[in-house]
Amino acid sequence: MTKKDIIVLQDLLLSNAQAAAAIRAELEGRGILAVNLMSSPGAGKTTLLERIADRLRGRLKIAVIEGDIETERDAERIRAKGVPAWQITTGGACHLEAKMVGKILPLVPPDTAILFIENVGNLVCPASYDLGERLRLVLLSTPEGDDKPKKYPKAFTTAQALVLTKADLLSVLPFDVAKVKAEALDLNPRLEIFITSAVTGEGLDDLLAYLGRAGEEVRRRA
């Protein structure tokens, strides 16, 4: 990168940080927990949200912002669960930015407890963009392999929680859970780690309890 490119990038990130701070202030003022989900394509972000929608139905209101390069597919899957969902198609951009999220905020129902923001499937770029979330979850699916945290460190150092997905495939894959845990904690000692499967339901109650506690804290402070 040239000096000019670096200055433009710094401008972009500064402007994003300002927009993100405004979003965080608004959402927390309204008592809404915002959760940014990041992962590679196909790690299971939308499927996890479908399972969460099923388990929270009638207990807690959620809403979902879906980020994708193209298609409304993910928002349609979430709406089919009776959950409000808005699709942002970036048209090529590899991550969501705070301003895109800001445009959706007026549409989020006042009684929403948790606003999930599913980022573009990309384990690299989304990690650099604060979207005004309180919690950042990085998902890693077992088929991706147990060497990923140190190869893609920023997603793991900036997240509050790591959700290992597709644990039901552990019996047929060479994936060392203890190795991934150790590597992720070496990068980020405060990381919470959940081992989950959307097929068997493993780990989902623990993850929901964690999100529930974070949501209560936001509402208490609002």
Q: Which residues bind to its own copies, rule: CB under 8 A?
A: 4-5, 8, 12, 40-42, 68-71, 73, 92, 94, 120-125, 128, 141, 143-145, 147-148, 150-154, 166, 169, 172
Q: How far apart are CA 162 and CA 155, in angstroms?
A: 9
Q: How far apart are CA 94 and CA 67, in angstroms?
A: 9
Choice between 76 and 111, CB closer to its own copies = 76
Q: How far is the CB of 142 from its own copies (least distance, A)?
A: 8
Q: What stretches of the chain adopt beta strand conformation (E)?
A: 33-38, 62-68, 85-89, 114-118, 135-141, 161-165, 192-195
Residue 192 gets the label, from left (phi > 0), alpha (psi -120 to 50) or beta, of: beta
DSSP annotation of 102: H
Q: How far is the CB of 120 from its own copies (least distance, A)?
A: 7
Q: How far is the CB of 163 from its own copies (least distance, A)?
A: 15
Q: How far apart are CA 137 and CA 160, in angstroms?
A: 6
Choice between 125 and 177, CB closer to its own copies = 125
Q: How far is the CB of 170 from its own copies (least distance, A)?
A: 12
Choice between 199 and 214, CB closer to its own copies = 199
Choice between 34 and 195, CB closer to its own copies = 195
**Which has the closest alpha carbon to 38: 180, 149, 168?**
149
CA angle (99 as vertex; 191, 9 as ends), nearest 5: 75
DSSP annotation of 71: -
Instruction: Tally the C-alpha atoms within 13 A of residue 102's C-alpha that lie toward its C-beta.
Output: 17
Q: How far is the CB of 70 from its own copies (least distance, A)?
A: 6
Q: How far apart are CA 128 and CA 166, in angstroms?
A: 26
Choice between 24 and 154, CB closer to its own copies = 154
Q: How far is the CB of 193 from its own copies (least distance, A)?
A: 18
Choice between 172 and 178, CB closer to its own copies = 172
